[in-house]
A and B are shown apart, each in its own frame.
Chain A
Amino acid sequence: MAKITLVEAVTMALAHELEHDPDVVILGEDVGINGGVFRATAGLAQRFGEDRVIDTPLAETMIAGMTVGMATQGMKPVAEAQFMGFIYPMVDHVISHAGRFRNRTRGRMHCPLVIRAPYGGGIHAPEHHSESTEAMFAHMPGVRVVIPSSPSRAYGLLLAAIRNPDPVIFLEPKRIYRLHKEEVEDDGEELPLDMCFVLREGKDVTLVTWGAMTKETLEATDKLAEQGISAEVIDVATISPLDMDTIYESVAKTGRCVIVQEAPKNCGVGAEIAANLADSQGLYSLQAPVKRVAGYDTVMPLFRLEKKYMPSVDRIIKAVNETLEVS
């Protein structure tokens, strides 16, 4: 079994579904012969034909609107937003239609679509190519928001997203697209949506994160271990709907929680996790205030400053130490 990167796992999952489900089609800008700007659809047009992997005009609203229309007629379209910074013209069709069709027609129509988008900073990209606005989608009823953080989870979660009968926004942390390789078997086994993954078990503090921030969080965990601090690491993976039970269970064990997100702090997914801990039995497990390590509430800087913006290993360790200082 070959070792593959996260982006190669995305390609493998797309190919698997194109192979096994004739209703699956891919559409987007440059997804065809070019294989996508990040190569996520490399080779697929050549293998499955240009009727299955469709290059569209350069019009994101059109991609989203047609994706909704196709989904309501029984197709399973997988659209690519070239970058999350270009996803905003699609938002009307997600919030006003994709998330509403099943509900507003009382089940007569539904929207089994996926919109994939590379997101997040750290690759020295031009303006508008580095933001993390996942919380915007998490706020929309009727839509699942899924973020893989490893090759195997990218494969299993994308299969589940495509097969899911409801709309899924699938955000791919592009900073770790090629960070490490993992053995992933192309066995068609999907992973459950709506569930967190425990990446490390620990007993002193729970670190909750998702996407590319799993990298810094795991590095921080290694450094904390050197200090004798045992951190449990949870990859949220599906940020909407949130699997709080896994987080409650962990915090019940550790008594401390630090949330790490690349997105701005204000009204982020971390705020929702912290709020859930505060207005549930989770509160009684806490021995220290919940800390959030997040991007600043500023505009995402251009790349000379982006590393200063994004949570670092040091910032995570500082937050953990602060929670541990509270006895």
Chain B
Amino acid sequence: MTTVASFSIDYVQHLSPEGQLVGDKAPPIATDFEQLKKLYELMVLTRVFDAKAIALQRTGKLGTYASSLGHEAVHVGMGAAMKYEDVFAPMYREYGTQFYRGVKMSEVLLYWGGDERGSNFSGPKHDFPWCVPIATQNLHAAGAAMTFKLRGQERAAVTVIGDGGSSKGDFLEAINAAGAFKLPLVLVIVNNQWAISVPRKKQSGGQTLAQKGIAAGLPSIQVDGNDLIAVHAVMDEALKRARSGGGATVVEAITYRLSDHTTADDASRYRPQEEVENARRFEPISRLRKYLMSNNQWSAQQENQLLKDCAAKVDAAVEEYLSTPKPAVTDMFDYMFAELPHDLAEQRQYALEMENNG
């Protein structure tokens, strides 16, 4: 017997849960404190926004909302490593990435508030909207990456899937295509340990989820998803490889869903509270704050000011959301096709008459 293939999966961490640099190869961003502070502020803003969105849902001012609590480092880190001309194909809770790319908080609220106009957002016009069906976005990103490759553009696509979604055929077909076509694509498995109520261990017999990428012929790596510095470094390397013709990468970011799946879920039914409390010790924001403070880059006073600023920004976004006029009934019809077919034109007219007579 001979070994015809062998592989290993590396795990990258630069910042310990105590906020100390570990290892001896810190990436440049570890000492770029201006950038780190900017990213820290965005992580905090994302968390303040998240708490507000849940409160809006609880008071009947928002529909079902998917929280991003605990995912701030992986989301913001992905966004910071991307360029504007890259394409982002999210699932539905990567607000930190989207805020970095210019999506407004009021637009996220519009979407979860039941209004399609939220997906006509202020971020890059080529970015994909939220994607609910699970893993289909991975193939859309592969298609975007194929477009860049065919056009000879130095752009990459980034797409996200959860630990649960990595069990789906769409994800597996996307990584397979990425390897077969050598696509400029980065597939990020945000492994937050829970797919609604089903734990990671029930999703796959694989020791890691990253190793699925090995089967597709892709460089595949695990990263501490609560470590902004590590996420940024891993994404930066994968994106540079993608843009320069080196093909796709699978990144498994290990994090933890500190919230319920959505506001329609109650995780206490299936998840021990001790596990959540333990996971909180590894959460990303306090880790980065400790690092910044221990390097004299952040103070309690700055923290207080930041929280006040974030609250004001979120309040303004909520105001913008709540004061958005209702959509017109005709909006249902007017974006179905470039040119409205005659049967839909008749239905549009009927809907308008019912609206005016009602």
Q: Which residues of A contact B (CB under 8 A)?
A: 25, 51, 56-57, 59, 61-62, 64-75, 77, 89, 92-93, 96-97, 102-110, 141-142, 164-166, 194, 241-245
Partner of B177 from the list A62, A72, A166, A243 (CB cut-off 8 Å) is: A62
Q: A69-B139, A69-B147 are in contact. Are A59 and B341 (CB under 8 A)?
A: no
Decide: B170 and A61 in contact? CB cutoff 8 A: yes
Chain A residue at minimum C-beta to C-beta distance from B135: A65
Q: How distant is A72 from chain B, measured CB to nearest CB, in Å?
A: 7
Decide: B342 and A241 in contact? CB cutoff 8 A: yes
Q: A69-B142, A141-B336, A245-B342 are in contact. Are A104 and B119 (CB under 8 A)?
A: yes
List chain B residues, Cβ under 8 A from A194: 341-342
Instruction: Give complex CA distance A65, B135 in Å.
Output: 10
Q: A75-B147, A241-B343 are in contact. Are A106 and B133 (CB under 8 A)?
A: no
List chain A residues, Cβ under 8 A from B121: 108
Chain A residue at minimum C-beta to C-beta distance from B327: A106
7 A-B residue pairs with CB within 8 Å:
A57-B176, A65-B139, A70-B144, A72-B144, A77-B143, A97-B140, A108-B121
Decide: B139 and A25 in contact? CB cutoff 8 A: no
Decide: B143 and A108 in contact? CB cutoff 8 A: no
Q: How distant is A226 from chain B, measured CB to nearest CB, in Å?
A: 37
Decide: B120 and A107 in contact? CB cutoff 8 A: yes
Decide: A72 and B140 in contact? CB cutoff 8 A: yes
Residue B315, interface by CB 8 Å? no
Instruction: Give complex CA distance A74, B157 in Å.
Output: 15
Decide: A73 and B136 in contact? CB cutoff 8 A: no
Decide: A66 and B139 in contact? CB cutoff 8 A: yes
Decide: B144 and A105 in contact? CB cutoff 8 A: no
Decide: B343 and A244 in contact? CB cutoff 8 A: yes
List chain A residues, Cβ under 8 A from B332: 103
Instruction: Give complex CA distance A124, B142 in Å.
Output: 37
Q: Which stretch of B50-58, B123-131, B317-325 is in the interface? A: B123-131
Decide: A165 and B338 in contact? CB cutoff 8 A: yes
Decide: B143 and A66 in contact? CB cutoff 8 A: yes
Q: How distant is A292 from chain B, measured CB to nearest CB, in Å?
A: 20
Instruction: Give complex CA distance A280, B188 in Å.
Output: 53
Q: How distant is B165 from chain A, measured CB to nearest CB, in Å?
A: 13
Decide: B133 and A75 in contact? CB cutoff 8 A: no
Chain B 142-172, CB-CB to A under 8 Å as 1, else 0, gives: 1111111010000001000000000001100
Partner of B139 from the list A62, A77, A105, A241 (CB cut-off 8 Å) is: A62
Q: Besides the contacts A103-B335, A106-B117, what 16 more A-B pairs have beta carbons closer than 8 Å? A: A57-B180, A65-B142, A65-B173, A66-B142, A70-B147, A73-B87, A73-B126, A73-B147, A73-B148, A89-B169, A92-B136, A102-B337, A103-B332, A165-B338, A241-B341, A245-B342
